[in-house]
Chain A
Amino acid sequence: MPVETVEAEDVRAGEFAGSAVKRREDPHLLTGEARYTDDVQYPRMAHLALLGSQYGHAEIGAIDTSAAEESEGVLAVYTHEDLTESGIDGTMPAADPENGVAVERPLLARERVRYQGQPVAAVVAEGRYDAFRALDLIEVEYDRLEAAPELEDALAEGAPRLHDAAEGNVCFESETGDEEATEEAFSDADHTVALTVANNRVIPTAMEPRAAVARYRKSEDALIVELSSQNPHSVQDRLSDVLDVPEHRVTVRVPDVGGGFGAKLQPYSGHLLSAWCAMALERPIKWQARRTDDFQSMVHARHQETEIEAALSAEGDLLGLRGHIDADLGGYATGGGVGIPQGTAAMLCGQYDVPAGHVSVRGVFTNTAPISAYRGAGRPEAAYVIERLGSACARELEIDPAEFRRRNFIPSKEFPVETALGRSYDSGDYEKTLDRALEIVGYDGFRQRQEAAREEEKYLGIGFSSYVEVCGGSSGDMEGGLVRMNPEGGVVVGTGTQDTGQGHATSFAQVVADELGVDYDAVEVIEGDTDRVPEGGGTAGSRSLPMGGGALREAAGRLVEKGRTIAAHQLEASEADIEFDDGEFRVRGVPDRTVTIEAVAEAAYSPGDLPEGVDAGMEETAFFTPEGSTAPFGTHVAIVEVDPDTGELGFERYVAVDDVGTQINPKLVEGQIKGGIAQGIGQAVYEEGRYDENANLATGSLQDYAMPKSWQLPEVDWESTETPSPNNPLGAKGVGEAGTIAAMPAVVNAAIDALSPFGVDDLDAPLSEETLWRAARGETR
């Protein structure tokens, strides 16, 4: 049953955290009062539109902008030369991988384009339609080059080289684990099981396309950029670097954001150019990308091809893992493109106690949109590989797949652990989530039911995914949290995380209201304004609650300590004798000598009322760094039916049992998990970003890219367990990505199981009807 929500006013004070409080974000989103970036308008605002490259790989000759410049309403047309002539270098900071090469990322193409849709020229016009019309009038001379849209094209002998610096189109190589110990494990093994697993390219596709509105106030030399983003402070850094403006002159504000999922972490050419144009033209500039612009030139995700092999004892114990990942970077390397596959390599032990492992990674340029973060960023890829391998091992050794997982789980008493591939897991109880999932799904009777169905030519399959991921920040990460109590008792809190639909304002208010013992409605949450909130790292890697919540909790705790000092003075008691509970300071053992935190706050702004040595004000900012990362986990089980005559896949059941640590708002946790599962199932069954042999994007619209529709997804039976993280004060592990990480292997394993009577032991996602129909006939795509 879905979690039932409650109104905050029906929750007892001090018990907000843990309650399924209805979201405070919702009223404005439900009534048309939302303010997304495209809703922002200013007087004299002009519109920026970008011309994307027609081809996936070409030299660029002359660009004739004269007709576009003459077009109605056009204010200016810009190419790369205009940027460099203005005194900036016209590039975005490049990823600089260890053991690899850095390549320049131009804002507007210089000499060569390396993926279809790469921005080539910019038009600024009075109206958005004026700008679009002018784009069609720009004449670009393209000298087409042979393209390498697929990894195998790019890695082939004699492949076209994308970047002079990258021989063989290899950007970087890396490895993790202990090669010698791993080889030893393999030489001692009774069995080995090898698998080639492809993680298909997907396109994040938040419902709101990218957008920015930039203003420049010349008299103050101040740049104000409002944009749809997950990380305002990093956008501020980037604007400062790229435009050569001091950071303190740049304000970044983020209005409502229509979804991000990782793809809105970095600012793109359009965001940065809207700011550059605002400075060049001294007018407010709006850039609103169209859907096809987003498909072509926003980051794509996943695409990795992995060789993986397990060494096993005769009884089915994992002894070692070895593998190699070829990771597609697209036409340019982003920080995410370089980091994500290395993260995948480190996560390949999954939930299992693997004594030795070694995995190498090679990052490869192709003539496709750059690859970077998308919900899970490296962990879904790893979970898919290890959970496919786990099921393959069970099949090969004729062990029940649930039993195979159980016998290899890291035992709950061993946490915290560091895996053979170098990832630390904070806490876990993997059997508990597996057992509960098996119970809900009725696994005991399933095999009999499956057998009976097969006799009636109905092909049911069950698929398991016992996943773990690592998120929630790290000991090298920090987040700012500001908590201020005003003289009249109202509380304003701010962090550098950024809501893109998760419900931060609700959950942060729950955390702080409890910590200060004040009413939930007394707490106002601010995000998305670099002038008003402390430095922080935005929202990525399910870090907002562990990091932002951690910072707010720490700042609120310091405020209570300051309040204790003031209360001791007011109550004429020693500080050590002051207790704080439910918003009241009390003298221990003297129940009627109390003062509320609101009264303390009022006094805090009257210096005459303060004890000696205490500064005025009731405000604290904490910069929080956790002990380490967190490791959410769980088991998902899918039961599907595949019709071998049509290739249709239907869901009979989807069960998810997740542990994301302590839950602040169980309804929001449920929402994140279910929404995450939808994206994992999308990759498993429907979605694939595809290029043709000339590197034209074949899935460049919502007609062609198969984002799941309402009737294509199953109902999810969801339950949770709560194993707190020891690494942050809330015990929260983060929940944004877990569902997506878990779902894909459960579904693909289920389809393989369904088609096993046809000899199928391998399938590549997405599981289109054609793929499944062919597989049932012994063909692979």
Chain B
Amino acid sequence: MATHEISLTVNGEDRGLEVESGTLLVHALRDQLGYTGPNVGCESTVCGACTVRVDGDSVKSCTVLAVQADGSEVTTVSGLADGDDLHPLQESFRDEHALQCGYCTPGMLMSSLSLLEREPDPDREEIREGIEGNLCRCTGYEPIVDAVEAAAGEMRGGTDAASEEGE
């Protein structure tokens, strides 16, 4: 098997590694570098459990080759919190019981983050459309919609969120 030297910046750390031509980014992150946040649910871009951010875009890391990501900045779910402070999405997922088994959660969080960057004030339908590339078998999605809605309010500023909760 041909191998390649690549470098990635993962959650702010510079990492060099040797990968096979066919190595998927998710396996390079998980098996070689030990970033086990992104999970593998389908290896076919459908379930979204492996979603990470590559140079700021949400990407399903099961259908990107590691060599394609050479030189990129990658953020996994472990890079979402600010030290001990959870990201507002992480907080709201916990508040709204938006996760059960947790397997889809890393991908769901990364996709939700991209959604809120595109659209800071989505309605519930827009949230449902924004996370359609991420499958969850446990929650029925409604609590995830609750959580993204609450986090959006939190991220826009407290007063906005408070007035929505009063509705």
A positions within 8 Å CB-CB of B: 2, 5, 22-23, 25-27, 29-36, 38-39, 41, 72, 128-129, 205-209, 256-259, 261, 288, 290-291, 500-503, 667-668, 670-671, 674-679, 701-703, 707, 709-711, 713, 715-716
Contact = CB atoms under 8 A, between A and B. Distances in A.
Contact of A290 (B43, B101, B132): B43
Nearest to A209: B41
A766 to B, nearest CB: 17
A207 B49 contact: yes
Interface string B35-70: 111011111101101000000000000000000000
Contact of B42 (A35, A291, A713): A291
B10 to A, nearest CB: 11
A671 B141 CA distance: 10
Interface string B114-151: 00000000001101110110111111111111100000
Given A30-B109, A709-B135, A710-B132, A258 B39 contact: yes
A2 B42 CA distance: 31
Given A208-B41, A291-B44, A710 B101 contact: no
A25 B47 CA distance: 23
Contact of A128 (B27, B35, B101, B143): B27
B137 to A, nearest CB: 5
Nearest to B49: A207
Contacts of B140: 674-678, 713, 716
B46 A702 contact: yes
- Majority DSSP secondary structure for residues of A touching B: loop
Contact of A32 (B77, B145, B146): B77
Contacts of A256: 101-102
B101 A30 contact: no
Contacts of B145: 710
| A-B interface, 3 closest residue pairs, ranked by CB to CB distance from nearest | A32-B37, A258-B103, A29-B102
Contacts of A671: 97, 100, 138-139, 143
A287 B29 CA distance: 19
Nearest to B87: A30
Contacts of A23: 94, 97
Given A29-B102, A32-B106, A707-B135, A22 B146 contact: no
Given A32-B35, A257-B101, A207 B136 contact: yes
A206 B100 CA distance: 12
Contacts of B143: 2, 671, 674
B103 A208 contact: yes
22 contacts: A5-B96, A26-B93, A32-B36, A32-B76, A32-B106, A38-B39, A38-B40, A128-B31, A205-B137, A207-B47, A207-B49, A207-B104, A208-B41, A256-B101, A257-B101, A258-B102, A291-B44, A678-B139, A678-B141, A702-B44, A703-B44, A715-B142
B97 to A, nearest CB: 5
Contacts of A208: 39, 41, 101, 103
Nearest to B22: A129
Contact of A711 (B36, B39, B128, B139): B128
A130 to B, nearest CB: 9
Contacts of A38: 30, 36, 39-40
Given A72-B1, A259-B103, A501-B100, 9 more contacts: A25-B102, A32-B36, A32-B78, A34-B37, A208-B41, A500-B101, A503-B100, A710-B136, A716-B140
B72 interface: no
A702 B95 contact: no
B99 A710 contact: no
B86 A31 contact: yes
A670 B128 contact: no
Contacts of A32: 35-37, 76-78, 106
B101 A258 contact: yes
Contact of B41 (A41, A207, A676, A710): A207
A713 B136 CA distance: 12
Contacts of B101: 206-208, 256-259, 500-501
Given A668-B97, A678-B140, A710-B144, A30 B30 contact: no
- Majority DSSP secondary structure for residues of B touching A: loop
Nearest to A6: B95
A701 B135 contact: no
B20 interface: yes
B9 interface: no
Nearest to B134: A710
Contacts of B141: 678, 710, 713
B47 A702 contact: yes
Contacts of A668: 97
Nearest to B20: A129
A477 B20 CA distance: 51
Contact of A39 (B20, B36, B136): B36
Given A30-B77, A72-B1, A671-B143, A5 B95 contact: yes
A146 to B, nearest CB: 32
Contacts of A41: 31
B137 A707 contact: yes
B17 interface: no
Q: Name, among B35, B77, B103, B104, the residue most crowded by chain A CB atoms within 10 Å (CB to CB).
A: B103
A35 B104 CA distance: 13
Contact of B90 (A31, A129, A702): A31
A370 B26 CA distance: 32
A115 B140 CA distance: 31
B77 to A, nearest CB: 4
Contacts of B131: 710
A715 B77 CA distance: 27
B124 to A, nearest CB: 8
A423 to B, nearest CB: 28
B6 interface: no
B100 A675 contact: yes
A210 to B, nearest CB: 12
A312 B106 CA distance: 54
A23 B91 CA distance: 11
A674 B98 CA distance: 11
Contacts of A5: 94-97
Q: Name, among A34, A39, A205, the residue most crowded by chain B CB atoms within 10 Å (CB to CB).
A: A34
A747 to B, nearest CB: 13
B132 A26 contact: no
B36 A35 contact: yes
B22 A261 contact: no
Contacts of B100: 259, 501-503, 671, 675
B52 to A, nearest CB: 10
Contact of B23 (A129, A209, A674, A707): A129
A205 B22 CA distance: 27
A380 to B, nearest CB: 16
B72 to A, nearest CB: 18
B139 A674 contact: yes
A291 B132 contact: no
B1 to A, nearest CB: 7
Nearest to A259: B101
Contacts of A703: 44, 46
A676 B137 CA distance: 9
A702 B95 CA distance: 30
A709 to B, nearest CB: 5
A646 B105 CA distance: 35
B56 to A, nearest CB: 19
B81 interface: yes
Contacts of B124: 715
Nearest to B108: A710
A503 B20 CA distance: 39
Contacts of A257: 101
Contacts of A676: 140
B60 to A, nearest CB: 12
B94 A26 contact: yes
Given A668-B97, A711-B125, A711-B128, A674 B142 contact: yes
B109 to A, nearest CB: 7
Q: Name, among B90, B93, B131, B140, the residue most crowded by chain A CB atoms within 10 Å (CB to CB).
A: B140
